[in-house]
Amino acid sequence: MMAESRVPLLDKEAAAKAAEVVGVLPQMAELNIFRALLHQPKVAKAVQDLLITLLFRGSLDARLRELVIMRLGWQTGSVYEWTQHWKVAVELGVSEEDLLAVRDWRASDRFNEADRAVLAATDETLADGAISPGTWADLESQIGDASVLIELVAAIGNWRMISSVLRSLEIPLEEGVEPWPPDGKIPGG
């Protein structure tokens, strides 16, 4: 686990004040990622707004979204992303076994066709910057709705960006949080 961020985290009081000025929610301002991002409040606000839209106002199935996030966290080595969303995914009803299987999803029999299409789209976007025609056809047959497909592409791009921010700024986990749940295994380890 990283001890310090590349940019100093604002103390909680300073983060709360900066957040209030631009409309970042108090609970977001307490998170280490926002305590760093609030050095640039307009960026912090834009990131929050996209996160809130995708997490709470979207149409993409929450399980599929969390599989995307967990796969991105694992593939990019983002301890913060994996650790934060482990709890979120479990609370949303995604089983720990499914989350662990995301590590090597192609070898697992835990995933249905929609899960597999979304995970393939995630891997292809990471590797090539785009979803292949074959995977897109699978997504269309499994998800179908154009607005949900757009949201999926935005979700993959968003959490890929979040992973880059977290890793580039070396954002530490919140105090007292254990990394890489449930077993501490790390990518490539």
The 10s digit of each residue's pLDDT in 73-118 is 999 999 999 999 999 999 999 999 999 999 999 999 999 999 999 9
- pLDDT tens digits, 108-161: 999 999 999 999 999 999 999 999 999 999 999 999 899 999 999 999 999 999
Nearest Cα to Cα of residue 76 among 42, 125, 16, 115: 125
SS3 readout for 6-29:
CCCCCCHHHHHHHHHHHCCCHHHH
The four Cα atoms 100, 104, 109, 111 give a dihedral, to 10 degrees, of 70
* d(C-alpha 114, C-alpha 37), whole Å: 34
| Local structure of 144: helix, strand or coil | coil
Task: Name the region of 130 (left: φ>0; alpha: ψ -120 to 50; beta: rest).
Answer: beta
As a CATH number, domain 62-169 is 1.20.1290.10
Domain boundaries, the chain: 12-56, 62-169
